Chains A and B, each alone.
Chain A
């Protein structure tokens, strides 16, 4: 009996000792899961950056379906000092779990939970989508571009309307008539569906397709890859720089620096400056942007690249207010700008 007691005491000491030394960070993925090469992987990169630079202990829990969110968050909060929850669909689960663990710090990406221990980050996805929308419209040979969404939750809709606004701006400024085909595949984790939706849009005449669909979007890249480099067909990646996944077939990626947001959140927790608030990150904060187009720059005319730079600056200084919802999109008229 005594031995067991000593062992237990040692164990407790060990656990406490390690938790005093380093913060434990556990990330809970959304249903897209790690390996989506976009949203979840980007958040995980932020955790790993914190592991390297701040010496925290990082770990990850995968969610396979929405019913996993609450138990996963609770399990994570039981042992971690900081829990990183990613994905808008986790919002209700986190609203329920966060008050149960007032001493645990939560970092939440893509949604807002109003609690003293939750630091919420949302992004102005529409601003990056506007750029790739403009680029797609400038590059299309068929006069049609496509959009594949996962599930129509707010961040994904912001991508859609930003993208459509970019195409609309191109049409107004250049007096063209580029059409946008849109479709949703109802999943962030089924690449086969993303691929067939993209092929459907290719079949309807689109030649450049932007996917904001997590892992399903890998199917879009695959579909463009099957058309081949130099065929004029392109995919546009999302969240992370996905250009390397199929060099020459991914025109650009609309970047959303989830990794930086997660890193700064953890840093705040380490330094003790963490507080429950809502931060909105856009192009101005350099949290939204477009990939450097490492493999496709030679396909894009110089003046288009220049125009993109001008638009970037105009979005950052607020001259162009990119619409985020359907109502705003309908009312959106691109302001006159000089290139």
Chain B
């Protein structure tokens, strides 16, 4: 009975949903990035590393300029550059995409750790920098309950949702989107019809770099105002799972990210319910909820999703 009260209590609490949105935002950005890349047929497991680089770049440039928006802008550039590097290896030189992705992750972990020490003079974590101020949207704030959830969030949360809507439109309603999907399904036919397969793939991979980098920037200047080593902490891989669970579609990725965000937020809320008197070891087990959910979801749904037919296969021009 206590459990039931606790669970009802959680779902009645607007803060639970707000925390879910905050938890989900980095995943939304990164999984959406994955959608771009894989729609054009390039597997991008480097999301984790690109997030880390984005988190780092945004903190460094916020530190230098004092303006978090400039930090975010630089994160976009760094993300694009890392995407371009991945595309260079996988598209132009037709290297193995998993190997290139892994290399980028290692590069990013090493470079951020090294530069952190050079720039801030200490290993481990950076100085504190300004965070992006939240947007207080009065029109939303007046709505009861919902206002408490979406009335006062980091701008990047709103931007993430806008990105999802725009991406859906771009991938499914525009000529460019049609080309992206064609290149991911059957690059030979697309090539025959005069589409430049390489250019389209470059576009997809660079977009994925930009979005993943924004996810990382949300973690650092969006949330904490600090960079800590390896701060992406596996979120890039969870984003990959969200993309797969979301069937390689923007809204699917959004839904899956929200579900993972909710699971994590739920595990925190459940620990905090004072009505459940539990020892620390049991509370600790609640933290497995997101991972159990991942397993259930992957086992239950992945069979039903379908990747683009040429996903992961390098294309060689005749």
**By the criterion CB–CB under 8 Å, are A184 and B283 in contact?**
yes
CA distance A326 to B19 in the complex (A): 30
**By the criterion CB–CB under 8 Å, are B284 and A196 in contact?**
no
Min C-beta distance of B83 to chain A, whole Å: 24
CA distance A36 to B229 in the complex (A): 11
Q: Which residues of A contact B194 (CB under 8 A)?
A: none
CA distance A152 to B280 in the complex (A): 6
Q: Determine whether B22 belongs to the interface, using a CB cutoff of 8 Å to chain A.
A: yes
Q: Which residues of A contact B273 (CB under 8 A)?
A: 204
**By the criterion CB–CB under 8 Å, are A200 and B228 in contact?**
no
Question: What total of A-B pairs shows CB separation below 8 Å?
Answer: 118
**By the criterion CB–CB under 8 Å, are A34 and B122 in contact?**
yes
Q: Determine whether B192 belongs to the interface, using a CB cutoff of 8 Å to chain A.
A: no
Min C-beta distance of A175 to chain B, whole Å: 20
Instruction: Select one of A152, A186, A190, A245 contacting B231, CB under 8 A.
Output: A190
Instruction: Select one of B15, B123, B269 contacting A34, CB under 8 A.
Output: B123
The segment from B34-42, B195-203, B219-227 found at the interface with A is: B219-227
Instruction: Select one of A37, A144, A182, A222 contacting B271, CB under 8 A.
Output: A182
Q: Which residues of A contact B283 (CB under 8 A)?
A: 152, 182-184
Min C-beta distance of B59 to chain A, whole Å: 12
Min C-beta distance of B26 to chain A, whole Å: 9
Contact with A along B270-283 (1 / 0, CB 8 A): 01111000011101
Q: Which residues of B contact A152 (CB under 8 A)?
A: 280-281, 283-284
**By the criterion CB–CB under 8 Å, are B281 and A222 in contact?**
no
Q: Determine whether A46 belongs to the interface, using a CB cutoff of 8 Å to chain B.
A: no
**By the criterion CB–CB under 8 Å, are B225 and A196 in contact?**
no
**By the criterion CB–CB under 8 Å, are B233 and A190 in contact?**
yes
Q: Which residues of B contact A186 (CB under 8 A)?
A: 284, 287
Enumerate A229-253 residues with CB–CB distance to B below 8 Å: 245
CA distance A64 to B271 in the complex (A): 27
Q: Which residues of A contact B274 (CB under 8 A)?
A: 144, 179-181, 204
Q: Which residues of A contact B22 (CB under 8 A)?
A: 196
CA distance A179 to B273 in the complex (A): 11
Instruction: Select one of B13, B123, B280 contacting A184, CB under 8 A.
Output: B280
Q: Determine whether A129 belongs to the interface, using a CB cutoff of 8 Å to chain B.
A: no
Contact with B along A196-208 (1 / 0, CB 8 A): 1101110110000
Enumerate A158-214 residues with CB–CB distance to B below 8 Å: 160, 179-187, 189-192, 195-197, 199-201, 203-204
List 9 A-B residue pairs with CB atoms under 8 Å apart, sorted by A's residue number. Answer: A33-B123, A35-B126, A62-B124, A149-B280, A184-B287, A191-B125, A200-B15, A204-B272, A222-B223
